[in-house]
Structures are given as structure tokens and as C-alpha cells.
Amino acid sequence: MVISLLLADTVAAAPAKPKPAAPKGDVTLPQLTKAFAGHCPKKTAGDVITCKDALPYINAAIKKYKLKTKGQKAAYIANMAYEGGYLQYNHNLVNHSQGTRSIMPAVSLRTFVNANKSVQKFWPGFPKNVDDNTIVDVLIKKKADFEPGAWWAVSGPGCAQVAKGLSGSQASFIAWEKGCINGGAETIAARAAIYKTVFAAL
């Protein structure tokens, strides 16, 4: 009886296993949840994906395409949140060839594919058999839909220099927005506001 009680006390006193820490530099789920400010989808279904389910893909894309600064990560996530309705959409609702998580037009997706050998393998015999109208579908099927936006954020045409300057200032984001993703057009206020929230959360 005494032995049993001692064993019971020992078991009860055993410390809980610590949760593994996120790898250094990774975006954490609390950070992403805060960045999305109440807009994380509640269930993964169809195009919709929860913040928890999306997070491994987001972090993998950030690492793969070398988004190193807080501003670069925030710009990628903010643009994805704005364009994709906070992970609600993987296609433009009108133009099916425009999509992936950052809702990029087919011509931009083709630029991404042309620049990255790691995804060219999705098209045996590349570049002969690539249909620009279905690039989005192939990338989604291969679970590479978080990648184009991450690559473009720092490596797209006109993006590298302005991406280096991304910081907590709205001016830095607007410079990136105009020089990298808007083709010189004016900023979109709603997207800039999301960037401010995301940057503060990371």
C-alpha cells in the first residue's frame, strides 16, 4: 500500500512535457492570428484554409524564398490577406486563371514559374507544355499556392530594392506596393492598413 501511494505521488508530480518551440524566425500561430485581427477562417474546406493549417506553408515559403526581415514577411502576409480575403480564396472569382494565395494574374504566375526550377518539375518537358491559363490549378494541386506571393515579395521584377527598405513605416510599404506589385500605381489604403496590423503583430 505504501509503495502504491509513493508511485501515485511520483506519477502525479511528473512534469508535463514542454511544447516544442517554433524554429527561430518562424511566424507563430499567435502572431498570425493577431495579424489577421479576427479574420482567421474557422474551418478548412474548399479554397478556405485556417490560419493553423496555412501556417506551415507560409513559413516554408518564407524560408524557401528568403524573406529575411520583419517588413518582408509582413508585406507578403499582408498582400496575401488583402488579395485572398484572409485565406478565403485561391482563385479570382471572375478570372479563373488568376489565383494562388496572393491572387496573382497568369502572366505573373508564369514569371514565377520561369524563374524557379523547383516548380518547373510540375510540368514534365517544361517549358513546352505549360498552359498559362492552368498554371494556377497546377500550383494549387501541388500545394505550392503559398509560394508565388513569397517569391514575388522580394524577387519579382522591381521588387528586390524596395523589399530591402520595408520597415514599420507606411511609406516603406507604399514604396514596395508601387514598385513591386502595383506597377507604379497608387497605393491601396486597405492593403496598407493591413500591413500596419501585420507588422505590429510579428
20 pLDDT band (50/70/90 cuts)?
Answer: low
Q: Which residue has the cell 492570428?
A: 33
103-115 pLDDT per residue, tens: 999 999 999 999 9
Q: Is 87 left (phi over 0), alpha (psi -120 to 50) or beta?
A: left
Distance CA 67, CA 57 (A): 14
pTM: 0.88
CA distance 187 to 54: 27
Q: Quick: pLDDT tens for 106-157.
A: 999 999 999 999 999 999 999 999 999 999 999 999 999 999 999 999 999 9
Q: Which domain holds residue 86?
A: 26-201
What nine digits make up the cell of 32? 498570425
Q: Which residues contact 49 (CB under 8 A, 6 or more apart)?
A: 41, 87
Q: Is position 8 within any domain?
A: no
118 lies in some domain:
yes
CA nearest to 170, candidates 193, 154, 148, 149: 193
Number of domains, the chain:
1
| Residue 78, domain member (yes or no) | yes
CATH of the domain at 126: 1.10.530
Q: Is the pLDDT of residue 15 over 70?
A: no
Quick one: what percent of the chain has pLDDT higher than 70?
88
